[in-house]
Amino acid sequence: MPTRKLENLLSPCNEGDLGSLISRAQRMGELTDILCNALPEPDRCAIVAANVREDGELVIICASSAWASRLRYETERLLQAAKDAGVSAHTCRVRVSQG
C-alpha cells in the first residue's frame, strides 16, 4: 500500500481521498453562516448546521425543539437567503440535533 502525505489526503484540490469531504464541509459551513446572518439578531445562534440535499431540500439543524418551532416561522426568509447565495433550494425542513 502506498504511503501518502497527510497534506495530500486533506487537500480539497485532490479528487477522491478526503478532499471532496473537506470541500463539502466547507460549503456547509458557509451556508450555515449565510443562513445565520439572514436571521434577526436574537435568532442567529439557533442554527447548528445547514445542508442542501440533491433534491433541493434545505435542511436546517438546530439545538432544541424550541428553536425548531421558532425557525419554522422563518423558512421563507431562509430559503430566500439560500437562493440569494446561489443555492438551489425549494423546500425547507428544520430538524433538531440529536446530541
List the domain boundaries for the chain: 6-96
Q: What are phi and psi of 59, to 5 degrees?
A: -110, 125
Q: For residues 50 and 35, is the Cβ–Cβ distance under 8 A?
A: yes
- The C-alpha atoms of residue 69 and residue 65 are separated, in whole angstroms, by 6
What's the CATH code, domain 6-96? 3.30.300
> pLDDT, tens digit, for every residue of 71-91?
999 999 999 999 999 999 999
Nearest to 51 by CA among 90, 25, 81: 25
* Sole residue written with cell 448546521: 49
Beta-sheet pairing, 91-96 with 57-62: parallel
**pLDDT band for position 6 (cuts 50, 70, 90):** low
